[in-house]
Structure 1
Amino acid sequence: MPKYLDLFAGAGGLSEGFVRAGYSPVAHVEMDTAACYTLKTRMAYHWLKSNHNLTPYHQYLCGEISRDEFYSMIPERILDSILNVEISSETLPRIFHKIDLLLEGEKLDLIVGGPPCQAYSLAGRSRSKTHMLGDKRNYLYKFYAEFLEKYQPQYFVFENVLGLLSAKDEDGSLHFENMRNLFKKCGYSTDYRILTASDFGVLQHRKRIILIGCRGERSDFYPEIPVIQEKHKVGELFCDLPSVHAGEGMITPVPTLHYTGRYLYHSGIKEYDCEPVTFHQARPNTVQDLEIYRIAVNAWNQRKERIAYSDLPSRLQSHKNKKGFLDRFKVVAGNLPYSQTVVAHISRDGHYYIHPDIKQNRSLTPREAARLQTFPDNYYFESVTGRPSRTLAYKQIGNAVPVCLSYSIAAALFERFAKDDMNERV
């Protein structure tokens, strides 16, 4: 069972795929406190499941015990493996020390993770007056390299947005080329692919750079990642969830409806029929927004047309910007094989993620967004205080790597570990 370290771990979408594929996490490093609590709760879930006792987890989700009471039932080594710290020159020695203690003298096989994408994304650069030149997040890959030098894993998996390919340093050089050159100096060959999540069981149009490094001089190490041929429609993600209107729903568990399909089971989203879900709560909307939602849903469901903001009646055009972001109101079409990309902006408003059922007339709930990201229904999203936060759940979900994409990468790479191990024995 290969041991891995997750850097810039977020809420654990990437990690969840590796756990599912049979890897063992040594530690997760993440600066966002709410995301770290989510990781602690998820690692607690995995520990309880391995010990065939999920009762405390269900008690916690139902509000029967507090988070502190729940965590008191989990070994400290599990909770302590989540390092809530920003990676910097000042914190590196402390992080290394904690990871060394967690490794207990054993070897680290793999490092996964990708720095925050805002500095590389096209949208982030377009909004920045400096186009993100000089932003410290541009250089977080240098700390990634420090971990490679320290632990020398056999492989690493580096994930990021497509904008990384064109992001430039202040001297005009490309960050991606600088990054690969640095990894080479650390002793790693690298190769990358642009992967589309919808090719790997995710009902969402999401493209990501997946850079894989292998220790030593190699050219044949990038695994073949099989495309999943079976296709489904987005509407299947929502078909068993209870109907709710804007401002309605529950954070605590609610049973799902009877489900006769295949996708939710094959993707790992759902484990059993009528399995309860958390965070199926819709945000409230203004009367004006709901009127726009109805127009958008009718345009799609009746004519397969997307509305532009400029097409709305003038009385509904309250935004000053009437030339840019004309697709700011968009339906998540249930009759298409994939949706638009889920991003962290969903935490600010849901206008770009309108539910296709006009009777419900609302934006997506966090659970529906989580399903688009292929998080399991038993995945719980934490806050800092322990009081559930719909906004923080949206943010963590939008920033995550889709679990099924991660699993496909992890499973293909697992075969590489097995092949390398066999070659060593020969």
Structure 2
Amino acid sequence: MNFLDLFAGAGGLSEGFLRAEFEPIAHIEMNSYACKTLETRASYYYLKNNNMMHLYKQYQKTYHKKDNEREEKRKKLLSYIPEGIIEPIINEEISEKTLPQIFEMIDNRLDIMDNNEIDLIIGGPPCQAYSVVGRARDENQMEDDPRNYLYKLYIRFLNRYKPKAFVFENVPGILTAFNGNIFKNLQAYMKRVGYNIEARKLNAKQFGVLQNRIRVIIIGWRKDLDFDYPDIGPENMNYLINDILNDLPKLKAGKAYKKFNYRENPNKYLLESNIRDRDDILTHHIARPHIKRDLEIYKLAVTKWDKEKKRIKYTDLPEELRNHKNLTSFLDRFKVVAGDEQYSHTVVAHISKDGHHYIHPDIIQNRSISVREAARVQSFPDDYYFEGPRTSNFVQIGNAVPPLMAEKIANWFKEKLTQL
């Protein structure tokens, strides 16, 4: 069975379907760093399936090299993959202008695969225009944002390729944007091109992810097929956030860990969730720098949590640590990723701007979480290599669907589609 990934990002949703042994037709993504991440991940699967993982591990160990040296090693890595073997990673913005070219590339790929049918289309358009916070911050409430209507382009792919089913992921705000009219129109268009659909709010923590992350997952299936919405029961979890932090070497703000090894052996959760294997190489354990004032605030936030199990509010800060006069809104801008909780709060792309909402629970380390720690909160495996600078890594991670959540959805589709 195969799938086409639209608005693919760094491949969190795709990773779940790859683990379930779906074959990718193509990934389409406008961000160049995310496309490089997808290419590197494709090389991982090819090398793994052909008993050449030592070549991938060699590349992982270039993580701390200079950009030009690492890029040379990356070209060498990709050269091990015969031309035409892996799916095309199409680095294009999906628009009316680019659709003919994108369709042509997909059609060519289907010809190479000797296939005339796509089983699944997956993906979700950028969600900022539907975000409640995004609308609140924009003076026009995102009414003029062209991203409001990217779902129409998604539907163009449904209409052209007529897959058996699709998965459309987005933020809960898509249900209420513009008094619900966006979602009403989306439903109408999808039904018009031949699909029954159902939308549900699902929480990543139901799928074994240590994160409280609510997203709308729209499942659609062709009207000629006997389908319904997957009924995936909640996982009974007895793990804590510390279970994804404690094996990692201690790190100070502004530092990077360069030795590639771990502080402890993997625990049960890391092994069960496929976040870490026993012979993994540690990369991306790099923390952003912070100014002295922020570090003082982080200590106060961690102390308040440790002693009172309460989140610090901006109004709790001493006056000398405040840098603006807004004392009525966004008072929770400093937040600890509490190690003794079962679930983290939601990781979003804003983590690329600053780390105030993602403070490490260890007061000794006194920093925001590293790139690898953020990836683990999202359930990305440690062998997942994010291309680009630290800021781009955080954006890719914050925008992703947790792979563990995607895998559970993919396995349900695998079972269902084999029955058709």
Mapping for residues 88-103 of structure 1, pairs under 5 Å: 88-103=95-110
- Runs of 4+ aligned residues of structure 1 deviating over 4 Å after TM superposition are 217-220
> 1:386 maps to which residue?
none
Corresponding residue number in structure 2 for 1:413: 413
Aligned to 1:54: 53
Contact 2:304/2:311, CA 8 A, preserved across alignment: yes
Q: Using the alignment, how far apart are the partners of 1:255 and 1:376 within structure 2?
A: 15
Confirm or deny: 8 A CA contact 2:252 2:366 kept in the other structure.
yes
Secondary structure in structure 2 of the residue aligned to 1:77? coil
Which residue of 1 is the match for residue 65 of structure 2? none
**In the alignment, is the contact (CA less than 8 A) between 2:208 and 2:273 conserved in 1?**
yes
The partner residue of 1:259 within 265, 270, 293 is 265
Q: State the Cα deviation string for residues 49-80 of structure 1 (Å, max 9, x = none).
A: 01010122122221276222222222332566
Which residue is 2:402 aligned to? 402
Deviation at 1:283, TM superposition (A): 0.8
Hey, what does 2:153 align to over in structure 1? 143
* Residue 318 of structure 2 is aligned to residue 319 of structure 1: no
Contact 1:334–1:356 at 8 Å: present in 2 too?
yes
Distance in 2, Cα, partners of 1:94 & 1:139 = 20
Report the counterpart of residue 208 of structure 1 in structure 2. 215
Match of 2:364 in 1: 359
**1:424 aligned residue:** none
Aligned to 1:75, which of 82, 107, 110?
A: 82
Matched-pair identity in %: 50
1:367 deviates by 0.2
Q: Which residue pairs with 1:377 in the alignment?
A: 382
**2:127 match:** 117
RMSD of the alignment, in Å? 1.5
Structure 2 residue aligned with 1:128: 138
Q: AA paired with 1:345?
A: H
The amino acid across from 1:188 in the alignment is Y
Counterpart residue type for residue 411 of structure 2: A
Q: Is the 8 A contact 2:6 2:122 kept in 1?
A: yes
Structure 1 residues 285-338: Cα deviation after superposition (integer angstroms, max 9, x where no partner): 111111111111011011111110111010001134332211111100011110
State the 1:233 CA deviation.
Answer: 0.6
Give SS of 2:419's match: helix
Question: Greater shift after overlay, 220-229 or 50-59?
Answer: 220-229
SS at match of 1:158: strand
TM-score by length of 1: 0.93
Name 1:423's counterpart in structure 2: none
Is residue 345 of structure 1 aligned with residue 350 of structure 2? yes
Letter in 2 for 1:417: L
Q: 1:175, 1:201 → 2: CA distance? A: 31
User: Does 2:309 align with 1:304?
Assistant: yes
Equivalent residue for 1:295?
Answer: 300
Asked if the contact 1:44/1:78 (under 8 Å) is kept, the reply is no
Deviation at 1:218, TM superposition (A): 6.0
Aligned AA (1:330): K
Which residue in 1 is equivalent to 2:277? 271
User: Any conservation in 2 of the 1:189–1:218 contact (CA below 8 Å)?
Assistant: no
Q: Of 143, 146, 153, which residue of structure 1 is paired with 2:163?
A: 153
Displacement of 1:175 after TM fit?
Answer: 0.7
Task: Check whether the contact 1:264–1:270 (CA below 8 A) recurs between aligned residues.
Answer: yes
Aligned partners of 2:187 and 2:274: how far apart in 1?
Answer: 34
Structure 1 unpaired stretches of 5+: 384-388, 421-426
- TM-score, normalised by the number of residues in structure 2: 0.94
8 Å Cα contact 1:297/1:331 also seen in 2: yes
Secondary structure of 2:100's aligned partner: helix
Say if 2:221 and 2:227, in contact at 8 Å, map to a contact too. Answer: no
SS at match of 1:159: strand
In structure 2, how many angstroms separate the alpha carbons of the residues matched to 1:173 and 1:356?
39
> One-letter code of the match for 2:405?
L
Alignment length (residue pairs): 409
